[in-house]
């Protein structure tokens, strides 16, 4: 796991030709997760305060009931108003349970955002492997050319070793050239395979990403509208409770 994390980190910082689409997608997924996390924290704080406000209304119910016991003409009205307040205080449990359902729909998109990032990391690793394979192939071709021509174009430990301890025999050089040619052939096949694998990955991943975008717009729109409708319904119930209480007071 440590090697895998290190490799992913290397890929992130060392890919020379990143795909702009995946770079932008990675940035978007980070922003999406940040926004939804913040939204959920705000919702949780509002829900906590709302719970407290509703439950405190139970105190109205208790006080009105106690007050009604010492009143003759006003007693029935106060008792009825207290009952409405008790019902109001108790209703918050069902409200928050319904609200949690919409919050769960938003929480799902925290995981979707992480899945998007995983796709981007996978692409970075594939691109990194591709670039390393291309670099290794170029290096082997250069070594092969240097052995064949006897010229060293870049400083290397091998070049210094040759100067210090003498040149290789033609047979040794021929054997090395043959080995390098085989490695170059294998490297070209490997590079071709990695290119094909990368293209297939991008094609299938991008199809999934387009579906995600379409589904995301639908799901989040639905969750936010449902949350707003629930808040409106909750406020209407609050108005109805106080309207009923007003009627109780009017009849005293």
**What pLDDT digit, counting tens, does each position of 164-209 carry?**
444 567 777 788 888 888 888 888 999 999 999 989 999 999 999 9
Determine what percent of the chain is predicted with pLDDT higher than 90: 55
Instruction: Output phi, psi for 27, to 5 deg.
Output: -65, -40
Domain boundaries, the chain: 1-250
How far is it, in rounded angstroms, from Cα 229 to Cα 221?
12
The superfamily (CATH) of domain 1-250 is: Arfaptin homology (AH) domain/BAR domain (1.20.1270.60)
CB 60 within 8 Å of CB 79: no
Report pLDDT for 154. 53
């Amino acid at each position: 796991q440590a090697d895998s994390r290190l490799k992913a980190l290397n890929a992130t910082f060392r890919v020379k030709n990143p795909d702009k689409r995946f770079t932008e997608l990675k940035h978007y997924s980070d922003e999406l997760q940040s926004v939804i996390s913040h939204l959920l924290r705000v919702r949780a704080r509002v829900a906590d305060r709302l719970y407290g406000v509703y439950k405190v209304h139970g105190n109205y119910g208790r006080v009105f009931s106690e007050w009604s016991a010492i009143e003759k003409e006003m007693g029935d009205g106060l008792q009825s108003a207290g009952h409405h307040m008790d019902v109001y205080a108790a209703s918050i449990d069902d409200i928050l349970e319904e609200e949690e359902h919409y919050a769960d729909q938003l929480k799902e998109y925290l995981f979707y955002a992480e899945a998007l990032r995983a796709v981007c990391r996978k692409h970075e690793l594939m691109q990194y492997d591709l670039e390393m394979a291309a670099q290794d192939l170029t290096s082997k071709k250069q070594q092969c050319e240097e052995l064949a021509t006897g010229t060293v174009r870049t400083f290397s430990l091998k070049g210094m070793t040759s100067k210090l301890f003498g040149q290789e025999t033609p047979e040794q050089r021929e054997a090395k050239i043959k080995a390098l040619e085989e490695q170059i052939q294998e490297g070209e096949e490997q590079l071709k395979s990695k290119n094909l694998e990368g293209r297939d990955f991008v094609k299938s991943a991008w199809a999934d990403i387009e579906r995600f975008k379409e589904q995301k717009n639908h799901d989040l729109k639905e969750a936010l509208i449902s949350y707003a409708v629930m808040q409106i319904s909750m406020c209407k119930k609050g108005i109805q409770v106080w309207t009923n209480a007003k009627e109780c007071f009017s009849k005293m």
